[in-house]
Amino acid sequence: MEINLSNQRTFWLAFFGLVLTNLFWALNATLARGYIDQVAPIALNLFRWLGAFVLLTPFALRGTIKNWPIIRPKLLPLTGLAILSVTFYNSLLYLSANFTTAVNITLINTLIPVVTLLIAWRVLGNRPRLMQLLGVSVSIIGVLLILTQGQLLRLLTLSLSQGDLLMLAAVSCWSLFTVLLKKLSINLSPIIVLYVLIILGLPFLLFAYGIEALFFRFYLPSLSHLGLFAYLWFFPSICAYIFWTYGVHHLGAEAASLSITLMPLFGAILAITFLGESIYWFHIAGGICSLFGMLLALVSPQRFTRKFYQKGSAG
């Protein structure tokens, strides 16, 4: 009984951690779009992770040194993960905001579960379950209801731009990162994993920042942007990545990626709360679809079977 309670607690901790992760990332995307005229995109990503590195150092440095014998043999794959997540994903997202609409960015992000399922099938040999495919379908319908305001035929008028292509590249990077993170299955705390990824990813970000400053746009943080970076340092960087790593480890790459479909729901809530926009039926219907689809894909048939068997035994 204790083992079952422990597994159930782990499941719900991972689930709610993924929900919070997408809330933090939705606000991250909203802020990035709001500040895109003031802050250069690569600089925004660089100083985001530099701040997170400073905040994490007192808590993670000692553990990283202690676990160096575990980390050292996996430096090469960890470097690849760092490039995909810390260096590429948000840099591409911030860059895409210069060329495409917020609707297109959010819509393309919803491809992450599908791309992750396909990559996991190829890399991990995880054939998608019927419940996963059903969950993905229900969640994406929910997302499309929100994005099209209940008029799905609007999808026929969408066109791809340079920014959309950048977002497709970002989606591919994050999906591959999620699958390879699960494949690596490194036995370390999420905080240490994140700290190592930041250390390995920062040199590549510094290089990209140098190119941006030299050929495109130079930026250094100012006091007026302290609130922006304070949020980016703590919530979408540290908390979200720790929650994501925990979710991938305990629920799997495919299930964790499905939570991305919650981002448009949170985006609508943020717009209603901070921009005074109204709530409509498609916000409610889309949100219910996204949450229900996520639960369908997360909960395995064995969980239902075990619960039914336990009830039958108890009777």
Q: What is the per-residue pLDDT across 60-79, written as a single tens digit (0 to 9) for each?
A: 999 999 999 999 999 999 99
Task: Give domain limits for the chain.
Answer: 2-314
CA distances from 150 to 154, 178, 248 (A): 9, 31, 32
Cα–Cα distance for residue pair 175/254, rounded to 1 Å: 9
Mean pLDDT score across all residues of the chain? 80
pLDDT exceeds 50 at position 164: yes
Are the CB atoms for 32 and 97 separated by under 8 Å? yes
When pLDDT is cut at 50, 70 and 90, the band that residue 84 belongs to is: very high
Are the CB atoms for 224 and 39 separated by under 8 Å? no
Please name the residues in contact with 31: beta carbons below 8 A apart, sequence gap of 6 or more: 228, 231, 232
Q: Where are the alpha helices (DSSP H) in 36-125?
A: 41-66, 68-71, 75-82, 90-96, 102-109, 112-123
Short-list 267, 262, 304, CA closest to 287: 262
Q: State percent of the chain over pLDDT 70.
A: 80
Please name the residues in contact with 287: beta carbons below 8 A apart, sequence gap of 6 or more: 142, 146, 265, 268
> Where is average pLDDT lowest: 37-46, 77-86, 96-105?
96-105
Short-list 237, 235, 181, CA closest to 205: 237
Q: Is 45 helix (H, G, I), strand (E, B) or coil?
A: helix
- The label of the residue with tokens 């992000």 reads 109
Cα–Cα distance for residue pair 309/315, rounded to 1 Å: 10
Measured on CA atoms in the order 107, 163, 39, 276, is the torsion positive or negative?
negative
The pLDDT of residue 271: 65
- The label of the residue with tokens 């100012």 reads 222
**What's the pLDDT tens digit per position in 8-27?**
888 888 888 888 998 888 88
- For residue 285 the two structure tokens come to 């219907």
- H-run or E-run covering 188: none
Q: Specify the DSSP class assigned to residue 235.
A: I
Q: Is 23 helix (H, G, I), strand (E, B) or coil?
A: helix
**What's the pLDDT tens digit per position in 240-261?**
888 988 888 888 776 777 777 7
